[in-house]
Amino acid sequence: MIRHTVAFRLKHEAGSLEETSFLADALVLGKIPSVRNFEQLRQTSPKNDFTFGFSMEFDDQAGYDLYNVHPLHVAFVRDRWVPEVADFLEIDYTRL
C-alpha cells in the first residue's frame, strides 16, 4: 500500500469562490480508478503555513503509477494545481 499525501497553500483568499472552486474540482482525483480513500483535509496546526491537505491510498506501485499518468490527474495538475497552488509538500509513504 502507498499513501500519497500533499499539504498545500493556495494563492486564493481563504473562503473565496476561487478556493471553493479549486477544492470542488479536486474531487475528480478521487474518481481515478486506482485511488482509494481520497480525502480533502484542512490544516489545524499553527506549526506550518499550509492550509489544506489531500490524502489517498493505492494498492501498489502500479496503481500509483497509473494515477500519475491518468488524464484526469494530468489535466488537474496542469489546469488547476500549477496555476493556483502557492506552495506544497508531497510525501508518499509505505508501511514499515
Return per-residue pLDDT of the chain as tens, 96 residues. 999 999 999 999 999 999 999 999 999 999 999 999 999 999 999 999 999 999 999 999 999 999 999 999 999 999 999 999 999 999 999 999
**13's grid cell:** 483568499
Q: Write out the residue range of the structural domain in which residue 30 sits.
A: 2-94
C-alpha dist (Å) from residue 82 to 8, 16, 59, 79, 87: 12, 18, 27, 7, 10
Comparing C-alpha atoms, which of 21, 23, 20 is closest to residue 53?
A: 23
**55's grid cell:** 490524502
**Long-range CB contacts for residues 37-45, cutoff 8 Å, separation at least 24:** 43/7
Sheet holding 36-42, edge to edge: 36-42, 52-58, 2-10, 85-94
Give the domain CATH number at 81.
Answer: 3.30.70.100
Q: Which amino acid, residue 83?
A: P
pTM for the whole structure: 0.92
Number of domains in the chain: 1
The torsion angles phi and psi of 25, rounded to 5 degrees, stand at: -70, -30
The torsion angles phi and psi of 68, rounded to 5 degrees, stand at: -65, -30
